[in-house]
Structure 1
Amino acid sequence: MTLPSACYRLQFRGGMDLDRAAGLAPYLRELGVSHLYASPLFTAQEGSTHGYDVTDPTEIDPALGGRAALERLSEALKSEGLGLILDIVPNHLAFSVETPWLRDVLRHGRDSRFARHFDIDPGAERIRLPWLGAPFETLLAEGTFRVDDDPDGPVLDTGGLRVPLGACDALDRARGGDAAAIRALHAAQPWRLVHWRTESDRISHRRFFSITGLIGVRVEDPDVFEDTHRLIFDLVDTGIVDGIRIDHIDGLLDPAGYLARLRARVGDTPIWVEKILAGREMPPEDWPIQGTTGYVAARAFGRLLTRGAGLERIEARYRAATGRTDAFHDVMGRLRRLVMTGELAAELWTLHAQLSEIAARDPAGAELGPESLREALLAFIGAFPRYRTYMTAEAVSETDAAIVRLTAARAAETLDDPGALEFLEGVLLRQDAASAPFRLRLQQVTGAAVAKSQEDTAFFREVRLLSINEVGGEPDDDPSGIEGFHRAMARRVEHMPHGLTLTSSHDTKRSEDARMRIAAITHAPEAFEAWHRICAGFAPEGLDPNVVWYVAQTFLALDERDGDLAERLSAHVVKALREAKSETSWTAPDLDIEERAQDYVRRLARHFPRHAPEVDRIVGIADRMSLVQATLKLTAPGIPDIYQGTEFAFRALTDPDNRKPVDFDARQAALGGRMDGLAELDRQKFDLTQRLLYARRRHAALFHAGTYEPLPAPEDTCAFRRSHGDATLGVAVRVDFSGEAAALPDLAGAEVTRATLDGEVVARVTLAG
């Protein structure tokens, strides 16, 4: 197996296609990475900005250049000695008439050869299509529908969307536009068009989280597995792809079974999975993978670089300014319920129906009413401590059984009568065929409940410190301290030494340097308090103080040199308000509240940062912390994933802000030493990144298999040694910037690099042997 020394993540689409990427191969080699790490390249929906809405997994997207352009990219990479890691999406396809397999199912129903490919409720008489802007009968009365023909057969034109039609007696009569004939035609189809607002109440297919536009794929079926992976297997077999990243592994029915089949098919090709780990959780030991995509590492760096005493002062000020006093655990319980009865109400309905059917057949559950079963489900999901368990149809491991029991015990504290919960616990722990479908489906729903309530809601409500509100983190995370960081790295060496290490991605809520701008306030809380007072002074009457606190931190995360500050922030504040779901939301937007917040942000932007010297100290500390974080990422256990553009300082908010085009001309110029016009942080970060990437490439065994040993150091410094054979790496970084700096300790070996800002050395790396 050939492991990367480091990879470089490119987001395709939005101006980046395969031929343009091929032109970057010499730059990537000179930068020092060993692999290009590509976002999904399969044919996706027209206009897709990210590629995760795949319509045809058997084809490289013509919009990116198609298979021929991919082969040219492969040749360009190989000529520079580089490999290719490809992001694949086995969990779902686009729920769209653009998806050929789904078109066939819509036309032929259960007779389609692709009917078994999609995770559609077998009890549903018809596939629900929540694609209408109004109820079917309303649009029918308005004369919206008409029958037409596409190259693959007749379609029902809904006023822009053209849905495939199956043959039936009413087809010819409906061509004349008669409403009764169109109604009869619609009733005869294997699908049913409904108003989009009904999608949260009832659906007939498994979704990706709450996104109805993505339909689950049954890769647990061997034939479906082969059909959906035919192209990736060919790319691996022909040497075009050298590594695989699995998107959303927790969405699959049987992740372990899937990975076993994939490993058997791709041999020793490295595999990484996108998985969010809670607390000290590690991937199951029987998964044949190199590791996860690296959010656990980003969390470790963030907890190290957050100063405990400063966070205590920030939190006290936050509570006083906003009046928010609830414990995060209590908030999360309420938000899980909010999500499950709102965005995921359709999933709750399905689980409730399954559990009710089991109860009706079981003497122990026959007397339980529907409401008690529903409340038991809500309490259990509300108390669940991680994304999911990994029970199978045949077995429940001791680890998973313990999680079920713990969750049930916590959930019982929220119920007056735990009888239904006890029944639910018993059903989950049974190892019988009758309960297996419910058990397996519940596992696919808990991850969605956690993600939607935490990452997409709590992260925008509980905002004491936004730098820890990150994918894989917890809003109530406490700083780890240096000893806690050392323990985390020791676990990583033991359990996941070849996992990826990321600090920015297309999914992070804030990019790596934006997070450091915010984490820096824990090192200078008095400066942030002064800045917050300024922000509060600009706030209009009636604006939620929690929004003011959020905005004060968000301004710090960006820099006016990075683009139109006012417009980027005004767009972001709307997204943040809707995600929080406190006063406005995506499905019920309050435009007055949103416009007031946008106006506030624009007025504040005219003041920031030219008239805010309070910010200067925070920015100075943050720049140093960015260099420390980059040093840790490139030297700690794991394989660094360099997100596009982050070899310079990169300050971005959540998507689409984090997918903005990268100025590769400036970065290529920097390789030749032409750094005129670059900020000092850009220069320092680029030089540090390139030097450490070169060291990783020259000493691959040290970085892949090296031990991890803490070194003694001053209390504001984290130092460690990594060894393999005769080679030794020494690392020392400053992690507390609240006072005067102590000198970094001496390290054995020749200096590889040092990070220095304004004469202060904040990181040193040495190599010996």
Structure 2
Amino acid sequence: SILTALEYLPRRTETDPERIKERAREKEIIKKRLERRCAEAPQVQRAIEKAVETINGHVGDPRSFDRLDELLNAQSYRLAFWRVAAEEINYRRFFDVNDLAAIRVELPEVFDAAHKLLFELVASGAVTGLRIDHPDGLYRPLEYFEKLQMRCAKALRVPLPKDGRAIYLIVEKILTGEEQLPQNWRVHGTTGYGFANQVAGVLVDHNAEGAITKIFKRFIGHSLHFGHLVYAKKRLVMRISLANEVNVLGTMVDRLSEQNRWFRDYTLEALARAVRETIACFPVYRTYLEPGKPVSEEDRAVIERAVAAAKRRNPAIEESVFNFLRDLLLFRFPENLDEEQRAAHAEFVLKFQQFTGPITAKGLEDTVFYIYNRLAALNEVGGEPQLFGLSVEAFHERNLRRQRDWPASLLATSTHDSKRSEDVRARMLA
């Protein structure tokens, strides 16, 4: 009867949620039945042990491991050396950490399962505020924040406020240069990384820039251009750590080019290079385009700036390849596309947006910030060490802007991401 139960077990390739639950439930029942059978009939236990010994093979006899190889090949996963993941992994990860598989929180069933405990804590009053880590990894951040606030309102048994904010919600969003937090996000502000870097900047002695730069150049033996270094290290990350993620984007855009006779002559290699070069030239962590909604002027400017920079750095690549990619990223679809093809184009844009953030973080925070050490106190997450300080006037202007737009945003001086605490940075800047 155990063999019969195994025959009727739903296949591992099932995608229907109910069949998946049935498989998970029934396999545990079968395992318990087999355990009881082994306890009742020692000969069954001995037979299993003998089979395991045979499958495990014998050192010195390579052919004896064939059965083990067959067993491993029959699994839902592939055993591989961990470095293989950089080029061949087939699931999204937290940066390049293989053990931290990403979940598709945009799916209703995944959202519900991942937030079940959270909403219970909100309903009980145990939690009164939320901090969202790495929001740039979300498939559709705007949609996620709206749904999160609606569900929190439901948990609190209150109507959703007119501003769409039922619970205090802040995000760990790294803003670059003059970049602003999207006004349509249903959040109360950021976790304060920007403020921490602005405080450090206002403590810098601007008059010392020339002397500090000269010392740094003499120490390392050559000059370093910050922008060129960021570009080079983002390319390095895409080649070494996150190669497969970029390969996926290249394959996606290649398939899209095949849908139109004007673009089908673009090769996979040319398109993949255009994707890599555009990401390497991205001036911010990511854009936030939403299918079916107008492209903001901020996002349009970011994409056009990145593509223009990629063109300048790669004159050997046909300019029209970059133009094709630019139009894709701005939702400028050919008129002859049907709904299915438009959905595929939108999927590419959403995936592209998910990947630019991790590549920027790995290239900038985890690489450049350990190389460009002109004044190490400025090398914190969200910092811009190529800018030697911040004027008092600019500091106050940013504070006024924050008070106007995000009055409930956090003001941090140190966080869990700080390489050096505020007292150490203050001493370095003194």
**Which bin holds the TM-score, normalised by the shorter protein?**
0.7 to 0.9
Q: How does 1:418-437 map to 2 (within 5 A)?
A: 418-430=319-331, 432-437=342-347
- 1:661 aligned partner: none
- The CA deviation at 1:376 is 0.7
- In the alignment, the residues of structure 2 paired with residue 435 and residue 394 of structure 1 have an alpha-carbon distance, to the nearest angstrom, of 12
Of residues 104, 108, 112, the one that matches 2:12 is 108
- Answering whether residue 350 of structure 2 is matched by residue 440 of structure 1, we say yes
- 1:729 aligned partner: none
- Answering whether residue 291 of structure 2 is matched by residue 405 of structure 1, we say no
Identify if the C-alpha distance between structure 1 residues 320 and 289 changes in structure 2 by more than 3 Å, giving closer, same or farther.
Answer: same
Name the SS for the 1:368 alignment partner.
Answer: coil
Of residues 169, 173, 182, the one that matches 1:271 is 169
Q: How does 1:477-496 map to 2 (within 5 A)?
A: 477-496=387-406
Name the SS for the 1:219 alignment partner.
Answer: coil
- Answering whether residue 313 of structure 2 is matched by residue 414 of structure 1, we say yes
Deviation per residue, 1:207-251 (Å, 9 max, x gap): 111112111111111121111100000000011111111111110
- The CA deviation at 1:360 is 2.2
- Answering whether residue 342 of structure 2 is matched by residue 464 of structure 1, we say no
1:427 counterpart letter in structure 2: L
- The CA deviation at 1:419 is 2.7
- In the alignment, the residues of structure 1 paired with residue 290 and residue 253 of structure 2 have an alpha-carbon distance, to the nearest angstrom, of 17
1:405 counterpart letter in structure 2: E
- 1:388 aligned partner: 286
Of residues 220, 225, 229, the one that matches 1:322 is 220
- The CA deviation at 1:500 is 0.9
- 1:292 aligned partner: 190
Q: How does 1:262-661 map to 2 (within 5 A)?
A: 262-267=148-153, 268-399=166-297, 400-416=299-315, 417=317, 418-430=319-331, 432-520=342-430
1:362 counterpart letter in structure 2: N
Identify if the C-alpha distance between structure 1 residues 271 and 115 changes in structure 2 by more than 3 Å, giving closer, same or farther.
Answer: farther
- The CA deviation at 1:311 is 2.6
- In the alignment, the residues of structure 1 paired with residue 19 and residue 419 of structure 2 have an alpha-carbon distance, to the nearest angstrom, of 37
Identify if the C-alpha distance between structure 1 residues 379 and 172 changes in structure 2 by more than 3 Å, giving closer, same or farther.
Answer: farther
Name the SS for the 1:489 alignment partner.
Answer: helix
- The CA deviation at 1:342 is 0.8
- In the alignment, the residues of structure 1 paired with residue 79 and residue 259 of structure 2 have an alpha-carbon distance, to the nearest angstrom, of 34
- Answering whether residue 54 of structure 2 is matched by residue 176 of structure 1, we say yes
- The answer as to whether partners of 1:364 and 1:423 remain within 8 angstroms in 2 is no
- The answer as to whether partners of 1:272 and 1:289 remain within 8 angstroms in 2 is yes
- 2:142 aligned partner: 256
- Considering Cα pairs closer than 8 Å and 6+ residues apart, tell me whether 1 or 2 has the greater RCO: 2
Identify if the C-alpha distance between structure 1 residues 488 and 152 changes in structure 2 by more than 3 Å, giving closer, same or farther.
Answer: farther
Name the SS for the 1:435 alignment partner.
Answer: helix
- In the alignment, the residues of structure 2 paired with residue 108 and residue 257 of structure 1 have an alpha-carbon distance, to the nearest angstrom, of 31
Identify if the C-alpha distance between structure 1 residues 503 and 445 changes in structure 2 by more than 3 Å, giving closer, same or farther.
Answer: same
Name the SS for the 2:86 alignment partner.
Answer: coil
Deviation per residue, 1:601-631 (Å, 9 max, x gap): xxxxxxxxxxxxxxxxxxxxxxxxxxxxxxx
- The answer as to whether partners of 1:202 and 1:349 remain within 8 angstroms in 2 is no
- 2:106 aligned partner: 220
- The CA deviation at 1:396 is 4.8
- The answer as to whether partners of 1:337 and 1:382 remain within 8 angstroms in 2 is yes
Identify if the C-alpha distance between structure 1 residues 200 and 190 changes in structure 2 by more than 3 Å, giving closer, same or farther.
Answer: same
* Structure 2, unpaired ranges of 5+: 1-10, 22-26, 33-48, 58-64, 154-165, 334-341
Name the SS for the 2:187 alignment partner.
Answer: coil
- The answer as to whether partners of 1:244 and 1:272 remain within 8 angstroms in 2 is yes
Aligned-pair Cα RMSD in Å: 2.6
- The CA deviation at 1:109 is 4.5
- In the alignment, the residues of structure 2 paired with residue 464 and residue 246 of structure 1 have an alpha-carbon distance, to the nearest angstrom, of 32
- In the alignment, the residues of structure 2 paired with residue 343 and residue 116 of structure 1 have an alpha-carbon distance, to the nearest angstrom, of 33
- In the alignment, the residues of structure 2 paired with residue 261 and residue 497 of structure 1 have an alpha-carbon distance, to the nearest angstrom, of 23
Deviation per residue, 1:167-195 (Å, 9 max, x gap): xxxx9966731522222222222221111
- The CA deviation at 1:495 is 1.3
1:420 counterpart letter in structure 2: V
- In the alignment, the residues of structure 2 paired with residue 422 and residue 329 of structure 1 have an alpha-carbon distance, to the nearest angstrom, of 23
- The CA deviation at 1:116 is 10
- The CA deviation at 1:398 is 2.6
- In the alignment, the residues of structure 2 paired with residue 115 and residue 427 of structure 1 have an alpha-carbon distance, to the nearest angstrom, of 38
- The answer as to whether partners of 1:394 and 1:433 remain within 8 angstroms in 2 is no
Q: Which sits farther off after the overlay, 184-193 or 475-484?
A: 184-193
- The CA deviation at 1:314 is 0.7
Name the SS for the 1:192 alignment partner.
Answer: coil
- The answer as to whether partners of 1:396 and 1:429 remain within 8 angstroms in 2 is no
Name the SS for the 1:200 alignment partner.
Answer: helix
Name the SS for the 1:272 alignment partner.
Answer: strand
- In the alignment, the residues of structure 2 paired with residue 172 and residue 415 of structure 1 have an alpha-carbon distance, to the nearest angstrom, of 62
Deviation per residue, 1:289-325 (Å, 9 max, x gap): 1111110100110111111012321112211232231
- 1:536 aligned partner: none
Identify if the C-alpha distance between structure 1 residues 114 and 271 changes in structure 2 by more than 3 Å, giving closer, same or farther.
Answer: farther
Identify if the C-alpha distance between structure 1 residues 242 and 436 changes in structure 2 by more than 3 Å, giving closer, same or farther.
Answer: same
Give the aligned length. Answer: 368
Deviation per residue, 1:705-725 (Å, 9 max, x gap): xxxxxxxxxxxxxxxxxxxxx
- In the alignment, the residues of structure 2 paired with residue 116 and residue 271 of structure 1 have an alpha-carbon distance, to the nearest angstrom, of 34
TM-score by length of 1: 0.46
- In the alignment, the residues of structure 2 paired with residue 152 and residue 396 of structure 1 have an alpha-carbon distance, to the nearest angstrom, of 54
- The CA deviation at 1:151 is 9.6
- The answer as to whether partners of 1:335 and 1:458 remain within 8 angstroms in 2 is yes
